[in-house]
Homo-oligomer: A and B are copies of this chain.
């Protein structure tokens, strides 16, 4: 039990300027000490364990390592899952072992520092809004396009959490008529097409429809489809591989159709594309924008949302979680 020691240190010199953010992904934990201007000044990375006990130990270890060197006021955890609206409990997280787990309260007690939970897409969207591509936006949708589609909505300077704390769930908007079936039970869900795995599936489909193709990407897919990642498809497109280019064009089409739906439901002034796939926006953004404009309900009679690439990179959720923790704590103290 070294918590008392830590607590006394914190009581002596807590810095309201520094907070820790931890992006708890299905594969890796990315913890960072974040300054009030969004700068990451120290980091600890670790693989994500698969049991509750070892995950919490790993988190505690990573955070304590940072706390040992930096006096921080709060810790924010970015979690991909459903959180309780009071943000103390992880109700369900598909890629993490927590189920109805009061993670915030328990970790806060062990660390002696307030711990705030946030949905990872909200954390990343908040980082873009505070420090990145979404600064100055009024109503902003930030999409994290990676394994799936995560979404965050900032309305008038606040994260919109809905009535039950469920972040906007946009990955299962049906975008492609009669499209690929989805584990959710529907067909043509947006994230079946606009994601890393969606890119691979599209490349395979396009190759099947054009079996004479003999590009480098086509040969790799024929030899060992398992070896081809979404990133590989993007690199192939950048290198001018015709199958890669066709796959990205197909991706851009459904991205644009989905973005039109996003504008129909939220009427934002700004849409920010982030995540591993979204950050490759220069590859597909112009084409996606054309489909977006073509599919927007009432196009021609309404202003268009700007569409921009995210700026905060892989630390977005870490930075956002830290900033949310810091500002949540400041708001509580001022009450």
Contact = CB atoms under 8 A, between A and B. Distances in A.
A155 B168 CA distance: 14
Interface stretch (A41-49, A101-109, A127-135, A180-188): A180-188
A305 B264 contact: no
A180 to B, nearest CB: 11
B264 A172 contact: yes
Nearest to A93: B301
Interface stretch (A17-25, A241-249, A291-299): A291-299
* Residue among A171, A270, A298 with max Cβ neighbours from chain B (10 Å): A298
A143 B92 CA distance: 30
How many of chain A's residues touch chain B, expressed as a range? 35 or more
Interface stretch (A158-166, A208-216, A274-282): A158-166
Contacts of A173: 173-174, 261, 264-265
Given A164-B303, A174-B177, A185 B295 contact: yes
Contacts of A187: 177
Interface string A41-78: 00000000000000000000000000000000000000
A287 interface: no
Interface in A185-230: 185-188
Interface in A81-139: 82, 91-92, 138-139
